[in-house]
Structure 1
Amino acid sequence: MICPKCKRKYEDDMPKCLWCDAPNPNYGAEDSPENESEPEIKPETPKPETEPTKGHSHHKSKEPGLKIFWLALLIGYTGAHCSSSGRTLRGALYLIFGGLTYKIIYLILRNNGLTIPAAVGAIAFVGYAVIVFLFLKDVWKIALGKYRNRKTGKKYESKSWMPALALIFTIIHAVMLNFNGYSTYEIVWNNGERVTAKMKLAVEDYMLAQKNYFEQTGKIGDAKTIQYMDLSVKWNDNFLYSMAGNGLRVEYMTNYHCPYETEWLIHPILHNGVLDWEITLPQDSRCNEFAHQLVSLKESLSNVPKESEPAASTPELDEGVDGVGVVPDTTQHGDSL
């Protein structure tokens, strides 16, 4: 504090100047009740009264269901509709076990010449069947307005035409599932015995058609000439049949038991004017074990004697005194000494 009279400095809390005894004008001014400031109290604003919300009242409004319905209907096995509705984990499981992931792995292994155990194919089919059932169930929930978005908690709005379309696709998937199940059963059961048996029948049909044509014309014909196939290529389950010249090429189009695009060749040849057959088997022993019917067919054809080959002649026997056959001596002896 600076004294207003003598202009000297002294402490602020002193009642008067230390040098000239002039009173301190600021002494006691801070302690006066007039200068004390009381904190302002703001009046509380009353909160508006809200009515108690009823349970599940947020489900009254619905989200548009067209997008998620088409996702489930067309590519439900990928889990796209689950991921779109906040069910990420379920969508990932659909994607892994719904057949798409296995199909990609299958194609990679197939195109690199690797085989897949048939048991793996059976397990993959079971997983695919379960996912088909689950995503068709989702389709019906969406079509009936009962499918809920996990993120918002709202249900999806359905349309009147959705159940009819869901029924059509359910029938289609049921037929496809039945077909795939039967194909899996054939390729898995008894090392694919049923599949290769059909392949042998197709080969025998070709050989019979070629034989009938040869007996009529004395020539070997192509597929159209012998009326074996209307086109140059045809399918039969897991095999592709095509003409290799006048012969038949059989290609394996999957990679269960045997590598992809393994070939069997059946060629007709003329042997001294007689129709004969040459069957070329793959070098892979797994394929020969798989298609053992063609191995047996080749062995049976090799054991059939050729019609043009003369039978081995045996010398005529002379009857001796006792009726015992004696082979005549035809050797020429020189002069005895």
Structure 2
Amino acid sequence: MICPKCKRKYEDDMPKCLWCDAPNPNYGKEEIPEQDTAPVVATSAAPIKKATEKQVEKPSRPHSHHKSKEPGLKIFWLALLIGFTGAHCSSSGRNLRGALYLIFGGLTYRIIYLILRNNGLTIPAAVCAIAFVGYAFIVFLFLKDVWKISLGKYRNRKTGKKYESKSWMHALALIFTIIHAVMLNFDGYSTYEIVWNSGERVTAKMELAVEDYMLAQKNYFEQTGKIGDVKEIRYMSGSVKWNGQFLYRMDGNGLRVKYMTSYHCPYKTEWRIHPVLHNGALDWEITLPEDSRCNEFAHQLVSLKESLSNVPKESEPAASTPELDKGVDGVGVVPDTTQHGDSL
């Protein structure tokens, strides 16, 4: 302790200065300030620590939520528009699944089909049925992926994060699901026609179309006494008519039927039906393809040709029947010299 009066130093516990007897102002008060200040420091530090902990926790929540999602627009459009190619699977780290989509999703089969068709090769009907089953299964799988993406449940295998979804994705997913369901029904019915009973339902379409043409030509001939083209007999308004797997085209006054697929019979195989006049009566000349498979495929038209060769026309005189049979050798086709001389 330093004396405030004489400025000399003495012990702190002395009641007065040893040199000038001045009283010690701090005598008996040494412990009071220490007891008052200690609690003040402890209480003021506690709130500061709690406030800093709250400030650290708040920004961490939105930061972690932002990183848990991948942008979903690209993957959604890939799955919606070209899902059968497996592009969205490869983009999300599912390479094997994407390859299976590409092989069995219809694109690969259509490319192979076009190559075989344009090279004149015939495809068995069983291949068509198997291809349709594979295509229908892939359509179901990629539509399932579309719905998972639209619901925000589709995950990226590379990052382990789910893709973001938008509210409008549900409407597009529903619309495209309905469209693909309708298309599958049409494709399924077409496949059924090709496969069932060796394509008999497809052949029946051609038979009905040919019978309609022959009936229209017969009615026109009875009214006018002439042979008319397909427009005059009102068989079809244009020069081309499409009916399922067949294309019908004018061939002078006759009709040309062309096969437009490769199942059972080569692509662009043709059947021709020409009206001719013989002794003033209407007769028919039918040209069949040389391929025996096509003749089996069009067995109704083959039967029609055989029936025309065996049944004499009512308008022909009875005396002319033996001469006709002798001239055509039982085939039922008018010789070329007679056709060019009497036909219109």
Which of 160, 173, 180 is the equivalent residue of 1:173? Answer: 180
- 1:218-257 matches, within 5 Å, as 218-257=225-264
Deviation at 1:308, TM superposition (A): 4.9
**Is 1:212 matched up with 2:228?**
no
Q: Residues of 2 paired with 1:113 and 1:187: CA distance?
A: 18
Instruction: Tell me, yes or no, if the aligned pair for 2:276 and 2:285 is still in contact at 8 Å.
Output: yes
Deviation at 1:61, TM superposition (A): 2.4
* Equivalence for 1:120: 127
Query: Deviations for 1:288-329, whole angstroms, at most 9, x for unmatched residues?
Result: 01110000001111112134543259xxxxxxxxxxxxxxxx
Tell me the matched-pair count: 261
* Equivalence for 1:269: 276
- 1:97-108 matches, within 5 Å, as 97-108=104-115
**Is 1:146 matched up with 2:153?**
yes
Q: Residues of 2 paired with 1:236 and 1:183: CA distance?
A: 12
- 1:154-173 matches, within 5 Å, as 154-173=161-180
Query: Deviations for 1:56-100, whole angstroms, at most 9, x for unmatched residues?
Result: x78962111111111111111000111111111100000000000
**Is 1:187 matched up with 2:194?**
yes
Q: Residues of 2 paired with 1:105 and 1:307: CA distance?
A: 52
Q: Which runs of 5+ in 1 are unaligned?
A: 1-50, 314-337
CA RMSD between the two structures: 2.0
Which of 209, 215, 226 is the equivalent residue of 1:202? Answer: 209
Deviation at 1:224, TM superposition (A): 1.5
Q: Residues of 1 paired with 2:184 and 2:315: CA distance?
A: 54
**Is 1:311 matched up with 2:295?**
no
* Equivalence for 2:98: 91
**Is 1:77 matched up with 2:110?**
no
- 1:282-321 matches, within 5 Å, as 282-312=289-319
Q: Residues of 1 paired with 2:319 and 2:253: CA distance?
A: 33
Q: For the structure 1 residues 224 and 277, does the alpha-carbon distance in structure 2 shift closer, same or farther, using more than 3 Å as the test?
A: same
Which of 124, 139, 142 is the equivalent residue of 1:132? Answer: 139
Deviation at 1:154, TM superposition (A): 1.2
Q: Residues of 2 paired with 1:204 and 1:309: CA distance?
A: 21
* Equivalence for 2:29: none
Q: Residues of 2 paired with 1:188 and 1:178: CA distance?
A: 15
Q: Which amino acid aligns with 1:73?
A: L
Q: Residues of 1 paired with 2:166 and 2:316: CA distance?
A: 80
Q: Residues of 2 paired with 1:234 and 1:83: CA distance?
A: 43
* Equivalence for 2:70: 63
Instruction: Tell me, yes or no, if the aligned pair for 1:59 and 1:155 is still in contact at 8 Å.
Output: no
Q: For the structure 1 residues 187 and 251, does the alpha-carbon distance in structure 2 shift closer, same or farther, using more than 3 Å as the test?
A: same
Instruction: Tell me, yes or no, if the aligned pair for 2:120 and 2:267 is still in contact at 8 Å.
Output: yes
Q: Which amino acid aligns with 1:165?
A: L
Where 1:128 maps in the other structure, the secondary structure is helix
Instruction: Tell me, yes or no, if the aligned pair for 1:59 and 1:154 is still in contact at 8 Å.
Output: no
Q: For the structure 1 residues 79 and 58, does the alpha-carbon distance in structure 2 shift closer, same or farther, using more than 3 Å as the test?
A: farther
Q: Residues of 2 paired with 1:142 and 1:308: CA distance?
A: 73
Instruction: Tell me, yes or no, if the aligned pair for 1:58 and 1:153 is still in contact at 8 Å.
Output: no
Instruction: Tell me, yes or no, if the aligned pair for 2:281 and 2:316 is still in contact at 8 Å.
Output: no
Deviation at 1:270, TM superposition (A): 1.1
Query: Deviations for 1:158-199, whole angstroms, at most 9, x for unmatched residues?
Result: 111111111111001001001101110110011000100111
Where 1:264 maps in the other structure, the secondary structure is strand
TM-score, with length taken from structure 1? 0.74
Where 1:214 maps in the other structure, the secondary structure is helix
Q: Which amino acid aligns with 2:136?
A: A
Instruction: Tell me, yes or no, if the aligned pair for 1:79 and 1:95 is still in contact at 8 Å.
Output: yes
* Equivalence for 2:266: 259
**Is 1:281 matched up with 2:288?**
yes
Query: Deviations for 1:214-237, whole angstroms, at most 9, x for unmatched residues?
Result: 111111111221111121111111
Q: Residues of 1 paired with 2:99 and 2:116: CA distance?
A: 23
Q: Residues of 2 paired with 1:230 and 1:268: CA distance?
A: 19
